[in-house]
Amino acid sequence: MDKKINIYYYLSGFGSGGIEKYSVNLYKKINKDTISLDFYTWEDKKEFFDKELTALGTKKNPYKKDSGNLTGLKRKYKIAKNIYASFKRKKYDVAYFNLTNPIEVLKLPLLCRLLGIKNIIIHSHSSGANNMSRVQKYQYKIGKIMISFIAAEYFACSEPAAGWMYSSRILNRQKHVIIKNGIDMENYLFNPIVREKTRKELNMTNALVIGHVGRLSKTKNHSFLIDIFNQVLKKKTNAKLVLFGTGTLESELKEKVAQMNLTDSVLFYGETNRIPEMLQAIDIFILPSLFEGLPMVGVEAQASGTRSFFSNTISPEILLTEVSSMVSLESSPEEWADKIINSDLAKKRTGKVLSDAGYNVSHTAAMVEKIVMKYSIQ
């Protein structure tokens, strides 16, 4: 082809979450001979994936750049100017937006459409939201309707994520596409040497290690997870809980752990780029989220062969291998603990099953590429 497809690609930031990891994985595998992808974000601050973006030869373009010392209307004007300049930076053939709520389509995607970019991809990564106000519920309904007029492609990580984001008009005509959260499979496959080395580093060689990966936020339901762990510890005194991630609830959760006298048994590890090793080191993975689209970390945990427990509010599409189970959030912490303690903790070889199901990032990138490339003739 004579020229590359230019893609404007937006996500809110490059923290350590699943949307960010999906985006970085996609960039690694996308064919850069035919596609040029520019990352745009909102906040102008140091973030988890910054170094990896640099290593990949790219960078993020934050809309709040050079606005930190400004206030009031001057700050808003600078941000607006940055947004306008981004759409005029080059002739973009496609705009790709990663969203968690239809409300968001009334912001940058709508502006993008008004500025003349017709080929807009909306990618839904969530299946719900916390405590929306009456106004937000109204905006949600409007956004859901407007998407069909703004977007050209309707991506979702799961069917519940599609149902949350898109109208029945789109769903009934099956115009949406499920883009699976593919991972770099080889990095996660179980290796007993890696497991033992990492457990020694954690000083948990002889422990029953329960792990969780996720932002410390209400959606992830950490408070309930700590209650579950407390019940496990009563029956398995060598149990340890390791929480990978940071977030707004960190202080609150640490306080709860202290009040329950669990400080010696719970490790707040923070963010890390060594999740593949950590998942191999742990014995049990628990994700009791209030809602999820289809959590990438759930795929990663299963790829490592780790026994994984998911709340029933997560799409059943996450039950991909023999190591995965679903437990109702209506079950008590004691019931969760019993299921966990009585489960088979032996690591399994699950890579082929996941790859055959389409959860390899190469498959994901090829699928996105195929859809994007049809706009090369316009």
Q: What is the pLDDT of residues 262-273, one digit of tens each?
A: 999 999 999 999
- Compute the average pLDDT of residues 318-330: 97
Does residue 2 surpass a pLDDT of 80?
Answer: no
Q: Which residues contact 375 (CB under 8 A, 6 or more apart)?
A: 5, 93, 94, 119
**What integer pLDDT is reported at residue 378 of this predicted model?**
56
Contact residues for 204 (Cβ-Cβ < 8 A; gap 6+):
240, 242, 281
Q: What is the pLDDT of residues 94-136, one digit of tens each?
A: 999 999 999 999 999 999 999 889 999 999 999 998 889 999 9
What single letter denotes the amino acid at residue 237?
T
The stretches of 72-187 forming alpha helices (DSSP H) are: 72-88, 108-114, 134-150, 159-165, 168-172
Q: For position 305, what pLDDT does the model report?
A: 97
Per-residue pLDDT, 88: 82
Q: Which domains does the chain have, with CATH numbers?
A: 5-182+360-377 (3.40.50.2000), 185-356 (3.40.50.2000)
Question: Cα(292)–Cα(126) distance, rounded to whole angstroms?
Answer: 5
Q: How is the beta sheet containing 208-213 ordered, strand by strand?
A: 266-270, 239-244, 208-213, 284-287, 307-311, 324-327
Determine the pLDDT at residue 163.
96
Please report, as a single letter, which amino acid is at residue 220. K
Write the pLDDT tens digit of every residue in 335-370: 999 999 999 999 999 999 999 999 999 999 999 999
Q: Tell me the two tokens of residue 280.
A: 């191999």
Instruction: Tell me the per-residue pLDDT of 220-276, one tens digit each, with 9 for 90 and over.
Output: 999 999 999 999 999 999 999 999 999 999 999 999 999 999 999 999 999 999 999
